[in-house]
Amino acid sequence: MLHFRQKEHLSRTRCIAVLSALLQLAATNALPAAAQTGGVPPLLDLGIIVMPTQAGAEAVLKQLNAGGDFFVLAKEKSIDATAIDGGYMGELDPNQLRMELRDALKGLKAGQLASVTHIASGFAILKVLTSIPALEDVNPNRITSLVSTGVIHRGAPVSGFPEASAVLRDYPKPDGWSRDLRQVCALRTASIENAKVELRAALESDSGAQMTPDQMVMKLHGESALAQFYAYSGEMKESIAAWKEALKVAEIADPRYVPNLLESIGATYLHWSEMENGV
């Protein structure tokens, strides 16, 4: 796990290891929303198949109930934008969905299918997934595909909360730390500051060096993670600078990341303007 305690500049190999560990932490160790505030519904991995007609949707539902593979059928038959990802919508709060989809999900347990639901773009079959399909885009800031135009769009997450929680979780802590609110605050602040310093050092250690495509993608992820840490600390100017560095790398290394990075930059500017104007 990642501690960010080394003070010397890191070698290129170590830099890649640092960024890989950080990405894994940020992607998998974020504290669940339900654990933060009482009464908040848990996030669910959701899948959707949308057919143009009710008869077509009923036929697909029959195939699914007979053991058909949800991801395969979504790719082959769904008219929704999520078809490319096997119908995977992402990890969502059901309350963010439109009313008809929220109603279809009521009472569903993991692995279960909803009945056919009429939505704006056709006839949908929802499923609470127990696993997710393999995805090409492993960026923690991956834009979740829409159910359909106008139904839901989850903006790029730029709060830095998952990244901050990840480094706090693995930061050295004394016994009984969680019972002292002052110490909790101090540890969170220290863990984030350490993360920023050491990640910045890791990234700068490779500046000017010729990097392989894989190393460039790791730098892209590293700058994105740094942007999240700065955003969490309210340092929006620094956050935007890091996002822009990530964008420069993406334009060369992997243009697939460009749309999401542009959205992240725009969202960060929006939050900065809110702070500057007291909104």
Among the listed residues 112, 103, 27, 3, the one whose alpha carbon sits nearest the alpha carbon of residue 65: 112
Higher pLDDT pick, 25 / 260:
260
| 256 pLDDT higher than 70 | yes
| 141 pLDDT higher than 80 | no
For residues 201 and 215, give the distance between their C-alpha atoms in angstroms, rounded to a whole number.
15
Spell out the residues 6+ positions from residue 156 whose beta carbon is closer than 8 angstroms to its own: 141, 143, 260, 263, 264, 267
Q: Provide the pLDDT for residue 33.
A: 34
CA distances from 66 to 62, 242, 266 (A): 6, 50, 45
User: pLDDT tens, 76-116?
Assistant: 999 887 888 888 888 887 877 777 888 888 888 888 999 99
**CATH number attached to the domain at 44-128:** 3.10.50.40
User: pLDDT tens, 4-24?
Assistant: 333 333 344 444 445 555 555
Q: Provide the pLDDT for residue 154.
A: 61
The average pLDDT across 230-238 equals 94
The average pLDDT across 201-226 equals 82
Phi/psi of residue 92, each to 5°?
A: -125, 150
Q: Provide the pLDDT for residue 182.
A: 93
Q: What percent of the chain has pLDDT over 70?
A: 76
The average pLDDT across 139-167 equals 60
CA atoms within 13 A on the CB side of 113: 21
Q: Provide the pLDDT for residue 10.
A: 38
Domain boundaries, the chain: 12-30+159-276, 44-128
